[in-house]
Structure 1
Amino acid sequence: MRLTVLGGCGAWPTADQACSGYLVEHDGFRLLVDPGYATLPRLLRHAPAGAVDAVLVSHGHPDHCADLNPLLRARALDDDPPPALAVYAPPGATDAVLALDKPGMLAQAYALHAFEPGARFDIGPFAAETTPLPHHVPNAGIRLATPGAVLAYTGDTGPSPGIPRLARGADLLLSEATYAHEVPAADAPYLLTARLAGRYAREAGAARLLLTHLWPGTDPAAAHEAAAAEAPEQPIGVTAPGLVVDLG
């Protein structure tokens, strides 16, 4: 299994980094997880739009799904359109994005598969296990498994005992870490710190931790230091555009 980071910026993209977006590949199958703001141009550096086999969305905030629209446009308006793209998302999560164009314009470009967080299903060669994790809107933590590797991804989440369960024994925990040490009180139930991400990675026995969804302007070194204080034995990284991680 190979993970390529397209972006990992929280809330809005910066000049240097797109929002959440991850290309996960195995056995020639390309799964795009969370096509957030500005991820399509980064994706096109690695594969043409028509080469994506499926999309998996953790939740409906636009920094996790907005670029589904230009991805579908690139496919639907191509001279030789590819088959309908399988899109997996919680109920209603992609409604706003899919409504950006006139009715019917993109209808043939995708096949929507709604799932309730907590469901299990297969996407190509990946066995997907999801779990509800706390956020401002319904959010699915995602565990993707192949015979040789496991990737766990939190989407956006607040503190939850479901996170170490989701990431148990994973080769990589890709964890939201909006703030390094403390989340403002109003958002404390819905967002995570790098420090707590480190603790969850340690409790889960995850082989590696990759911090993502840092608030724009957050110092990656500060986030790394906060996570390492809780997980001194785990290798820890911070998402950066083009970062590639091979699992298994």
Structure 2
Amino acid sequence: MRITVLGGRGAWPGADQGCSGFLVEHGGFRLLVDPGYATVQPLLARLPAVAVDAVYVSHGHPDHCADLQPLLRARVLTDRAPAALPVYAPAGSLDALLAIDEPGLVDGAYRLCGFAPGEGFEVGPFAARTWALPHWVSNAGVRLTCPGGVLAYTGDTGPSPDLVELARDADLLIAEATYVDDIPDRHAGNLSSAAEVGRYAALAGARSVLLTHLWPGTEPTDAVAAARRAYGGPVDVAAPGLVRVLEP
């Protein structure tokens, strides 16, 4: 399994990178995970829009899904009869986004596969198991398993005992770490810190950790240091172009 980071910033894109977005590949299948703000440009620098085989969206906040709309435009305006792109997302979470365009323009470009967080399904070579994790809107953390390894991804989440099960023995845990340590009261229960990620990664026995969704202006080395207080494995911060190759 090969994971390429398209962006790893939380809330809004910066001059240097976009928001959450990951290209996950195995056996020639290309799964786009969370096409947040400003992730479609680095994606298209690597492959054409029609080469994406499926999309997984953890939740409907635009820093995790907004660039699905230009991706669909790129598919339908390049090829007026593109193959319908399967888009997996919590039921109803993309309704507002998919309604913003010219009526009918992208209707044939996608096939919406809504699910309830907690359900499991197959996406190409990946077995996807999801968990309902605490956030302001319906958020589905996902564990992707294939012969090439196990990837766990939290989306955005507050504290939950399910995070340990999600990350159990995963080859790579990509985890939201908006804050370094202390979480402001207004975000408590709905977002995570790097220090918390370190604690549940250690309990889960995850083999490596990639911190993502850092609040703009956060020093990456501070986030890594906070996670390492409890977790002894490899820790890095998601940055555009970073590649991780998992082997079983």
Q: TM-score, normalization: structure 2?
A: 0.98
Contact 1:6 1:43 in 2 (8 A): yes
Q: TM-score, normalization: structure 1?
A: 0.98
**Structure 1 match to 2:135:** 135
Contact 1:50 1:81 in 2 (8 A): no
Q: Does 1:156 align with 2:162?
A: no
Give distance in 2, aligned partners of 1:119 and 1:67: 25
Contact 1:86 1:113 in 2 (8 A): yes
**Structure 1 match to 2:179:** 179
Instruction: Give the letter for the 1:105 counterpart.
Output: L
Note the alpha carbon deviations across 1:89-109, whole angstroms, 9 max, x for none. 001111111011122111100
**Structure 2 match to 1:101:** 101
Instruction: Give the letter for the 2:66 counterpart.
Output: A
Q: Does 1:237 align with 2:236?
A: yes
Q: CA deviation at 1:47?
A: 1.1
**Structure 2 match to 1:123:** 123
Give distance in 2, aligned partners of 1:131 and 1:108: 29
Q: CA deviation at 1:81?
A: 4.1
Instruction: Give the letter for the 2:210 counterpart.
Output: L
Q: CA deviation at 1:148?
A: 3.4
Note the alpha carbon deviations across 1:160-193, whole angstroms, 9 max, x for none. 1110110101000100000001110121100000
For structure 2, the 5+ residue unaligned runs are none
* Percent identity of paired positions between Structure 1 and Structure 2: 63
Give distance in 2, aligned partners of 1:8 and 1:96: 23
C-alpha root-mean-square deviation of aligned residues, in Å?
0.8
Contact 1:178 1:193 in 2 (8 A): yes
Instruction: Give the letter for the 2:99 counterpart.
Output: A
Give distance in 2, aligned partners of 1:247 and 1:124: 17
For structure 1, the 5+ residue unaligned runs are none
Contact 2:151 2:171 in 1 (8 A): yes
Contact 1:55 1:86 in 2 (8 A): yes
Note the alpha carbon deviations across 1:144-172, whole angstroms, 9 max, x for none. 00023000000000111110110101000
Q: Does 1:221 align with 2:221?
A: yes
Instruction: Give the letter for the 2:19 counterpart.
Output: C
Instruction: Give the letter for the 2:129 counterpart.
Output: E
Contact 2:81 2:108 in 1 (8 A): no
Q: CA deviation at 1:80?
A: 5.5
- Secondary structure at 2:227's aligned position in 1? helix
Give distance in 2, aligned partners of 1:148 and 1:106: 33
Give distance in 2, aligned partners of 1:72 and 1:108: 9
Instruction: Give the letter for the 1:189 counterpart.
Output: G
Give distance in 2, aligned partners of 1:203 and 1:79: 48
Give distance in 2, aligned partners of 1:79 and 1:2: 27
Give distance in 2, aligned partners of 1:24 and 1:52: 10
